[in-house]
Amino acid sequence: MTTTMTPKDFATATPSWWCPGCGDYGVLSALKAALAELGKQPKDVAFVSGIGCSGKISGYLHSYAFHGVHGRALPVATAVKLANRDLTVIAAGGDGDGYAIGAGHFLHAVRRNPKMAYVVMDNQTYGLTKGQSSPTSQTGYITGTSPQGNPDAPINGLAVALAAGGTFLARGFSANPKHLVGLMKEAVEHDGFAIVEVMSPCVTYNKINTYAWFKQNVYYLDDGYDATDRVRAFEALTAEGKIPLGVIYREQRPTLETLTHLGATPIVDLRLDPQLRELVAIQDAYA
Amino acid sequence: MSAVESRGAAAAGSDCVIVNDIEIMFGGQAGDGSLTTGDLIAGVFKRMGLEVYTYKDFPSRIRGGHTNYVIRAGEHANYGTADFVDGLIAFDVEAVETHVHELRPGGFVVFDSSSETLPDGVKRDDITWYLVPIGKIAKEEIGLELVRNTVSLGVLARLIGMDPAIVRADVAKVYGRKGERVVDLNLRAIEAGETYVDQHFAEWPSGYGLQGRPDVDRLIMMGNDAIGYGALAAGCRFMAGYPITPATDVLEFMAKFLPRYGGVAIQAEDELAAINMVIGAAFTGVRSMTATSGPGQALMTEAIGLAGVLEIPIVVVECARTGPSTGMPTKTEQSNLNHLIFGGHGEIPKIVLAPGTVEDSFYLSAAAFDLAERYQCPVFVLTEQALCQSKATLPRLDLGRVSVDRGKLVTEPVVFGEYKRFAFTDDGVSPRVTPGLEGGMHLAAGSEHGEAGVITENPKNRARMMEKRMRKLESALAHVPPPLVHGDAKADVAIFGYGANRGPIVEAQRRLAAEGVPTRFLELRTLWPFPEEEVRAFVAGTRAVFVVENNYTGQLDRLVRYVVGPLERMHRVLKYDGRPFRPIEIVEPIRRAAPARGLAEV
Ligand SMILES: Cc1ncc(C[n+]2csc(CCOP(=O)(O)OP(=O)(O)O)c2C)c(N)n1
Ligand code: SF4
Ligand SMILES: [Mg+2]
């Protein structure tokens, strides 16, 4: 069946909860457009989000959506993929969700490399809890819980992922939806764990990393950039100065599904029969 | 020269006493191979047609540290250790010092005298001491000190009359995988041990003798394997776990077998990941489980609440050990009951099952999956170190008794807009779809939601949603595994207990009955929803009630009291030293209370 899908097919009737101007709107519309352009059906999309303003996104994407507990989107999404490898699996969450409370899972999802996309909606603050510093906030960022300035150095999520064996690392900006749609499409198609970190400004609490600040502090990787060069990628990610946007690194490595020897039939479709002869025979080893 | 330095009073003079209940303890340093030998002995006892129970008491370290392995064999299936050890095989002085007081008068000790001498102080004179240079025999006669465990098996076999043909056949079977040379070495080791006894001690010197029976087709299995096997039979095809004693065996079992049935077992980075993975796989429609112990259970608690509010069927095996914190990781306890039932913020329906035998571990583990899917809630299988890491003989397991009832799982397309994932229903259970099904798209949110899944804080909806979810417990009540009554249902002494304590309680009952104190024992196999009706009915007409459990605060006792009210005649029988009850520890408090209340002539 080749029906043409439109972004509207991925819209829900639920009114948005986000502040006007929030960067998360751009992330949502880019996702919807990417899924439509890839011809995905809502029934085949499992969309798992974390907790935060960003985590609300699962309520606005027509799909099998899952809004779990803070920081645990990745283990849930990984298992959804293992349970039914035919699904298109996408996880999304904030910088706090992914790089603070969920940092452990982030590293291990990178190591496992399940085929799924992970969208980190980075606003360099904790939006939902009203503007505390997050793992990506700049040192010195002043908030209610850090009145003397955030003492911690910001985490570089993509560089960490590269070191941990990431196979697809991209960064976009929610104010450039066209570019973002391209990244999302590539991420969904990537045969492995694909991270798209999106600069998604919080207009209410983060008065430093604003749209204007981003416009001045980002640059787009050009055609001459070789995204398969690991060393170049590390340089691009860690260089002082402007923030690179685009696909920063990609490689092919066996997926979790391959390395756990999953069959072609999704686990969820296996027939369950307690009387299987081989099952009964297990007892012989104990006789 | 005689190595028999003193003969126990009971054994002296008598020839062979055929006993039909014997408990052998192997004691030494961890990692010295005594576990393999313990397993071997258990296998031989089984093939001699006896009922076997084993209990491992090992330190929480890999090499070194005192460890002991208890093997009990007899005509009755005793799911627990006896009051006393009959024979101790001690590989070092520490083993003697630690356990000599546990020996039955008339019992015996085999001490490896190769390198250590027994200090005078430890030598009880009411037991028989066999000083055998086990290590030296292994080294000098077989040329390999490693086989000293097998030499000790030869010694023991001769001392208590284990069938030599079966001993040899089992040694050949167990070491067969390691090649002919290893089998041969071990067979020679057996022979050397036997010969030493023949040359140095009189026939049937221990005064113990075991009489075999024809073996029937049975199994010998560890509780944790039975749990894994039950899950596999019930169609569990996804497991995620994080290694923790004493639950790791379940993950190992599933990691071995799941791939053969198309499933997958994942070793997660922590328990937070494990439980969230289980939830993810179950949300997708696969029967899923995890297994953990106290510390891991604590980490899983938040997500279990999520499974409750999302109405996702998951099975969580809790293999309880001593807490709090690290506690004693390899020792048993029942201090997690409160956590399973009441742990977590907010209120969700959950079911807590507790098997009392290895056999029941299989059937309840399998039943957990049907219950989880029928009531779309977390189901716990609660077991303890003393049961889940113990082996026992049991009849073959009947897979015909395992069902796969997936409850209100919808497999035909639904109409989007009409279908409501969290629809209000009479029994509280709503039709459940899984990703990929046409028309069933919805949001599964841990935030409170309406029937269609949309997040809402509407007070009327909130109240109705709470009622709907909690109603599932009432619906489940009539379908959860019922309690079992052991003993004399009309006796005026009542006992409550569950799990690993079933064995010692039943044994205590037998003894009390013989003393003229009949008792009735309600073994609770479902601890939540709490079987209030049965519990209330069970105390009616009793004059004394005993709640037997392995914890300090009387967690089960409080549940019982909540139902039956504050009865003056209720007694707690508690043990929290990390070791399972020996029957005498249950017999005595009941015996003490019985005459005082004029319950029976003792
Ligand atoms: C276990 C737990 N701890 C704390 C919270 C409170 N909390 C909710 S969202 C959030 C931070 C969210 O920050 P981020 O992930 O960056 O998302 P944002 O709101 O900025 O999009 C916190 C701390 C929670 N829900 N759960
Ligand atoms: S608080 Fe910030 S992140 Fe949250 S919705 Fe408003 S603008 Fe967006
Ligand atoms: Mg944030």
Topology agreement, domain B4-216 and domain B220-401: no
pLDDT of residue B14: 43
Choose among B273, B396, B442: nearest Cβ to A75: B273
Q: Smallest Cα–Cα separation from B5: which of B155, B133, B129? A: B129
Is residue A4 in a domain? no
Interface test with B, best of A32, A49, A66, A261 (most B CBs within 10 A): A66
- Out of A67, A265, A276, closest to residue B445 by CB: A67
The pLDDT of residue A21: 98
A223-266 pLDDT, tens digit per residue, is 999 999 999 999 999 999 999 999 999 999 999 999 999 999 99
The closest of B160, B221, B168 to B191, measured between CA atoms, is B168
Alpha carbon distances (Å) from B386 to A8, B59, B221, B357: 58, 14, 14, 10
For residue B261, which residues of chain A lie inside 8 Å, CB to CB? 270, 276, 279
Summarize pLDDT for B292-330 with one digit per residue, the tens: 999 999 999 999 999 999 999 999 999 999 999 999 999
Predicted local confidence at residue B61, as pLDDT: 67
Mean pLDDT for A76-95 is 98
Q: At residue B279, does pLDDT exceed 50? A: yes
The dihedrals phi and psi of B123, each to the nearest 5 degrees, come to -80, 95
Instruction: Give yes or no for residue A126 having a pLDDT over 60.
Output: yes
Model pLDDT, residue B1? 29
> What pLDDT score was predicted for residue B13?
38
pTM of the entire structure?
0.95
The arithmetic mean of pLDDT across residues A17-42, rounded, is 98
| Confidence at residue B20, expressed as pLDDT on a 0 to 100 scale | 76
Residue B234 to residue A279: CA distance in whole angstroms: 10
Cα R_g (chain A), whole angstroms: 20
CA distances from B9 to B21, B70, B120 (A): 19, 24, 19
Give chain B's radius of gyration (CA, Å): 26
Question: What is the distance between the alpha carbons of residues B80 and B385, in angstroms, rounded to a whole number?
Answer: 12
The region of weakest confidence among A201-210, B17-26, B121-130, B570-579 is B17-26
**Most A-contacting residue of B254, B276, B290, B396 (CB-CB within 10 A), to test interface:** B276
User: ipTM strictly over 0.90?
Assistant: yes
pLDDT digits (tens, 9 = 90+) for B341-372: 999 999 999 999 999 999 999 999 999 999 99
Mean pLDDT of the region B174-187: 93
| Pocket lined around ligand 2, Cβ cut-off 6 Å | A 18-19, 22, 24, 53, 123, 127, 202-205
The pLDDT of residue B209 is 78
Q: Which residues contact B531 (CB under 8 A, 6 or more apart)?
A: B477, B480, B482, B483, B524
pLDDT over 60 at B7, yes or no: no
Whether B436 and A268 lie within 8 Å, measured CB to CB: yes
Which tokens hold the place of A22? 């929030």
pLDDT of B281-292, one tens digit each?
Answer: 999 999 999 999
For residues A168 and A196, what is the distance between their CA atoms, to the nearest angstrom? 8
Please give the DSSP secondary-structure letter assigned to residue A98. Answer: I
**B317: closest CA of chain A, how far (Å):** 19
A247: alpha, beta or left? (left if phi > 0; alpha if psi -120 to 50): beta
Amino acid at B116: E
- What's the 3-state SS for A51-82? CCCHHHHHHHECCEEEECCCCCHHHHHHHHHH
Query: B168 in helix, strand or coil?
Result: helix
pLDDT of residue B599: 57
Task: Say whether the peptide bond before residue B246 is cis (omega within 30 degrees of 0).
Answer: yes
- φ, ψ of residue B87 to 5 degrees: the values are -135, 130
Euclidean distance between CA atoms B335 and B215, whole angstroms: 38
Chain A interface disruption, residue of B399, B404, B422, B433, most A CBs within 10 A: B399
Within-domain flag for A10 = no
Mean pLDDT along residues A119-135: 98
- How far is the C-alpha of B329 from the C-alpha of B60, rounded, in Å? 6
Residue B4 has pLDDT above 70, yes or no: no
**What is the mean predicted confidence (pLDDT) over A182-209?**
98
Q: Which 8-state DSSP code applies to residue A46?
A: E
Q: Which of A106-120, B8-22, B133-147, B204-218 is the most confident on average?
A: A106-120
Angle between helix B294-310 and helix B271-283 axes, rounded to 10 deg: 30
pLDDT, tens only, B117-144: 999 888 899 999 999 999 999 999 999 9
- Residue B543 confidence (pLDDT): 92
**A2 belongs to a structural domain:** no
Structure tokens at B599: 């319950």
User: Which candidate, B366, B361, B368, places its Cα nearest to that of B388?
Assistant: B361
Report, as an integer, the average pLDDT of A207-215: 96
Residue whose tokens read 């939540």? B528
Domain that holds residue A23: 16-285
CATH architecture, domain defined by B220-401: 3-Layer(aba) Sandwich (3.40)
Judged by average pLDDT, the poorest of A222-226, A277-281, B517-521 is: A277-281
Measured by CA distance, the residue closest to atom 8 of ligand 2 is A22
> Atom 2 in ligand 1: which residue has the minimum CA distance?
A70
A61: pLDDT strictly greater than 60: yes
Q: Which residue has the tokens 């989107």?
A: A73
Coil, helix or strand for A250? strand
Q: Is residue A3 part of a domain?
A: no
Backbone angles phi, psi at A223, to 5 degrees: -60, -25
Say what the pLDDT of residue B548 is.
Answer: 98
- Tell me, what's the pLDDT at B568? 87
Q: Which of B226, B255, B206, B1 is nearest to B107 (CA)?
A: B206
Q: Which two tokens stand for residue B59?
A: 């330190």
Residue A129 Cα to ligand 1 midpoint, Å, equals 6
Could you tell me if residue A41 is inside a domain? yes
The β-bridge relationship of strands B526-528 and B351-353 is antiparallel
A270-284, B12-26, B163-177, B575-589: which has the highest mean pLDDT? Answer: B575-589
**Residue A135 amino acid letter:** P
Cβ–Cβ gap A267/B283 under 8 Å? no
Check whether B32 has a pLDDT greater than 90: no
* B225 → chain A, closest CA residue: A286
Q: What is the CATH number of the domain that holds A222?
A: 3.40.50.970
User: Which pLDDT score, from 0 to 100, does residue A2 have?
Assistant: 56
Question: Binning pLDDT at 50, 70 and 90, where does residue B59 land?
Answer: confident
Contact A159, A140 (CB under 8 A): no
Domain B4-216 CATH (choose: 3.40.640.10, 3.40.920.10, 3.30.70.1050, 3.40.5.50):
3.40.920.10
Hey, are the CB atoms on A267 and B237 less than 8 Å from each other? yes
Cα-Cα-Cα-Cα dihedral of A270, B417, A93, A230, to 10°? 60
Rounded Cα gap, residues A30 and B490, in angstroms: 72
| Strands laid side by side in the A64-67 sheet | A218-220, A243-250, A168-173, A193-199, A116-122, A88-94, A45-49, A64-67, B442-445
Interface touch B235/A46, C-beta < 8 Å: no
Q: Mean pLDDT over all residues of chain B?
A: 92
**Domain ranges for chain B:** 4-216, 220-401, 408-481, 484-593
CA-nearest of B277, B536, B190, B226 to B387 is B226
Domain count, chain A: 1
DSSP-derived letter for residue B51 is E
SS (H, E, C) B542-593: CCEEEEEECCCCCHHHHHHHHHHCCCCCEEEEECCCCCCCCCHHHHHHHHHH
Would you give the distance in Å from CA A187 to the centre of its chain? 9
- Give φ, ψ of B54 to 5 degrees: -120, 150
Rounded to whole angstroms, the Cα distance separating B233 from A48 reads 30
A266 domain-assigned:
yes
AA identity, residue B469? R
Q: How far, rounded to the nearest angstrom, does the alpha carbon of residue B199 sit from its chain's CA centroid?
A: 41
In a domain, A7, yes or no: no
Q: Which range is least confidently modeled, B56-60, B514-518, B547-551?
A: B56-60
Residue type for position B527: L
CATH number for the region B484-593 comes to 3.40.50.920
Residue B11 scores a pLDDT above 50: no
Beta strands per DSSP E along B321-370 = 351-353
Decide: B376 and B312 in contact? Cβ < 8 Å: yes
- Position B21: which residue type? D
pLDDT at B58: 78
Crossing angle for the helix pair A103-112 and B271-283, to the nearest 10 degrees:
60
Confidence of residue B56 (pLDDT cuts 50, 70, 90): confident
The answer to whether A62 contacts B238, with C-beta atoms less than 8 Å apart, is no
Task: Tell me which residue of A275, A180, A90, A30 sits closest to B402, measured CA to CA.
Answer: A275
Residues in chain B: 602
Tokens 């583990």 — which residue? B365
The pLDDT value given to residue B208: 81
Contact B404 A273 (CB under 8 A): yes
